[in-house]
Amino acid sequence: MTVHQSISDEAKPAYNYAYLDEQTKRMIRRALLKAVAIPGYQVPFGSREMPLARGWGTGGIQVTAAIIGPDDTLKVIDQGADDTTNAVSIRRFFERTADARTTEATDEATIIQTRHRIPEAPLKAGQIMVYQVPQPEPLRKLEPHEAETRKMHAWAEYGLMQVKLYENIARFGEVTTTYDYPVMVNGRYVMAPSPIPKFDNPKMQMSPALQLFGAGREKRIYAVPPHTSVRSLDFEDHPFRIQSWEQPCALCGAADSYLDEVVIDDQGGRMFVCSDSHHCETRRAQGHRGTMLGDATASGLVEAKS
Amino acid sequence: MQDGNQIHAGFSDPVFQSQGAFRALLAALSEPGLACDIGVSVETPVGLEPATAVTLLTLADYETPIWLPAALRDGPAGAWLRFHCGAALVEDPSRAAFAVIDGTVPEPKLSAFNAGDDQFPDRSTTVLVQCAGLAGGEAVVLEGPGIAGRRSIAPTDLRAGFWAEIEDNAALYPLGVDLLLVHDSQVLGLPRSTQIVETR
Ligand SMILES: [Zn+2]
């Protein structure tokens, strides 16, 4: 199901601004304010059904719907790209229900709804990141019962988490978790940063932007205010390290961005390119060139832009 | 108004006025100590600061009991909140989701309100402290989440021992009440996560 099919133009006037009714918005807004007051703590909320299929980020969509207004400019990314089906559908949803102004430019956005990435361009004061979260509970793999994980958070009993990470190091020589790598927020709550690569974790630390997290199926909202300590869990003898690549982006030459491996032909040819498509395009527009930009443009993989 | 010509109107445009006011409240609690303009004005019943009235119109409803000083509860302010928010007005401060207190009056203490419990620290009271002013008083220096380094505030005429109460509240973290200091159309957040560094 796509938004395009589920919301016809004729039906549009029947919807509330930003889809949600005012009572639901109030409930979500109250949860958001408590989330901000207790950084990293998961606030339960009465998640609503949204006209998008499960797994489409209904938690993030509800958060965005509760905060968005006429002064906002919305950017939506999925796996770092603005043009994937998921990102396009969510953007269109807010264009239709909230008459939202949208952008692909990170620095023009006031709200950035995301799945799987934090943009490479530094976030600014006044911006709000909205993360779509499939599993908000960082302890769930260790403890399946909500009643137990809630007590573990209540009493800051995070020893089990440390033991699990250390076992990983003992077996593999490093922590093998590369996505949704747990963080400690404001020195108190262990938090799931959502399935972003651990490469993005350091961007959360003391970010000038407000970060909001919505988990629709699990009915949880949590937050990290600006300028808040967000530390990836690690050990003195095994400090946290982000992913790195041996070569820069093949299209824009960036040596400091998160790269995806892309298959470029049916002979098994591959290249590594920025996962943040807007960042890569911006760099190319500024004249930065990677080693395979010429080939990729010639074969139509990348649009030639002057 | 159908009943009672003494009840003032609420929002003229509820969807957009509550959205705008919410963003001011979100900014206030995200960046403690920063005075934010609530950005909306309504005809306010006597005894409520404009920002208090707008905050409660934005956030309160039948799910959120409100505590008011008796004089407000039994007067036009109470009637206005019952009418527009559909909220229950409670006498027991520990049952309140929202509370309005006068910053100059000694009682009730912040500790009388609900600080939440260790498994659900979010179930705590949000206390609106109506102040004579948010600037020009004695300086208090804050730090904590939402503050880059330190931030100084200087609200006026707060009751004796108020900052000690704030320190006691912060010591309960992650439990505790969350405060909004209000004056006129301004609101300044002091969530439980904010620490008092020094008072002068
Ligand atoms: Zn690139």
Q: What is the DSSP string of B116-128?
A: EETTEEEEE-EEE
Mean pLDDT of A211-234: 97
The predicted structure's pLDDT at residue A304: 66
- Taking only the tens place, the pLDDT of each residue in A164-196 is 899 988 888 888 889 999 999 999 999 999 999
* Token reading at A192: 């799931």
Q: 3-state class of B90 per DSSP?
A: strand
Q: Which of A227, A235, A124 is nearest to A170 (CA)?
A: A235
The predicted structure's pLDDT at residue A31: 98
> DSSP assignment, residue A200?
G
Q: 3-state class of A210 per DSSP?
A: strand
The predicted structure's pLDDT at residue A2: 36
The predicted structure's pLDDT at residue A43: 98
pLDDT score of A5 more than 80: no
| B167 within a domain of the structure (yes/no) | yes
Q: Separation of A230 CA from ligand 1 center, angstroms?
A: 27
pLDDT score of A8 more than 80: no
Q: Quote the ipTM score.
A: 0.97
- Domain of B52? 14-199
> DSSP assignment, residue B173?
T
Q: With residue A231 as reference, give the H or E element that holds it.
A: strand A230-232
Contact B23 A69 (CB under 8 A): yes
The predicted structure's pLDDT at residue A40: 98
- Taking only the tens place, the pLDDT of each residue in A56-115 is 789 999 999 999 999 999 999 998 898 888 999 999 999 999 999 999 999 999 999 999
The residue of chain A nearest to residue B122, with distances taken between CA atoms, is A34
- How near does any CA of chain B get to the CA of A275, in Å? 30
Q: 3-state class of A227 per DSSP?
A: coil
Contact A210 B18 (CB under 8 A): no
Instruction: Report the C-alpha gap between B65 and A37 in whole angstroms.
Output: 20
Mean pLDDT of A215-234: 96
What is the set of active-site residues of A? 40, 249, 252, 274, 280
| B7 within a domain of the structure (yes/no) | no
Chain A residues contacting B, CB < 8 Å? 16-17, 22-23, 25-27, 29-39, 41, 43-44, 66-70, 150-151, 153-155, 186, 188-189, 206, 208, 210, 224-229
| B9 within a domain of the structure (yes/no) | no
The predicted structure's pLDDT at residue A7: 43
Q: 3-state class of A270 per DSSP?
A: strand
| B141 within a domain of the structure (yes/no) | yes
User: What is the sign, positive or negative, of the torsion defined by CA atoms of A50, A51, A55, A59?
Assistant: negative
pLDDT score of B57 more than 80: yes
Give the CATH number, domain containing residue B46. 3.40.50.11310
Over chain A, what is the mean pLDDT?
91
Mean pLDDT of A51-56: 72
pLDDT score of B3 more than 60: no
| B6 within a domain of the structure (yes/no) | no
Asked whether A112 and A130 are in contact (CB, 8 A), the reply is yes
Q: Separation of B151 CA from ligand 1 center, angstroms?
A: 39
| B60 within a domain of the structure (yes/no) | yes
For chain B, what is the domain count?
1
Residues in chain A: 306
Q: Contacts of residue B16 in chain A, CB cutoff 8 Å?
A: 17, 69-70
Residue B182 identity (one-letter amino acid): V
- Taking only the tens place, the pLDDT of each residue in A196-220 is 999 999 999 999 999 999 999 999 9
Instruction: Report the C-alpha gap between B35 and B186 in whole angstroms.
Output: 6
Q: 3-state class of B165 per DSSP?
A: helix
Q: Which of A33, A94, A184, A221 to mutate to test the interface with B (most CBs of B within 10 A)?
A: A33
Pairing of strands A73-78, A101-102: parallel
Between the two ends of chain B, the Cα-to-Cα distance in Å is 48
The predicted structure's pLDDT at residue B8: 86
Lowest-pLDDT range, A62-66, A262-266, B47-51, B105-109?
Answer: A262-266
pLDDT score of A12 more than 90: no
| B118 within a domain of the structure (yes/no) | yes
Q: Contacts of residue B191 in chain A, CB cutoff 8 Å?
A: 36-38
Q: Separation of B177 CA from ligand 1 center, angstroms?
A: 47
State the burial class of residue A45 (Cβ atoms within 10 Å of its Cβ: 0-12, 13-18, 19+): buried
Rounded to the nearest 10 degrees, the angle between the axes of helix B50-59 and helix A22-37 is: 110
The predicted structure's pLDDT at residue B49: 97
Lowest-pLDDT range, A263-267, A273-277, B130-134?
Answer: A263-267
Contact B26 A210 (CB under 8 A): yes
| B173 within a domain of the structure (yes/no) | yes
pLDDT score of B66 more than 60: yes
Q: Separation of A205 CA from ligand 1 center, angstroms?
A: 24
Of B15, B145, B148, the CB nearest to A186: B145
Chain A and chain B share a number of CB contacts under 8 A equal to: 106
Reported confidence tier of residue B199, pLDDT bands at 50, 70, 90: confident
Of A68, A188, A224, the CB nearest to B174: A188
pLDDT score of A9 more than 60: no
Instruction: Report the C-alpha gap between A78 and A115 in whole angstroms.
Output: 5
The predicted structure's pLDDT at residue A211: 98
Over chain B, what is the mean pLDDT?
95
Of B15, B30, B147, the CB nearest to A36: B30
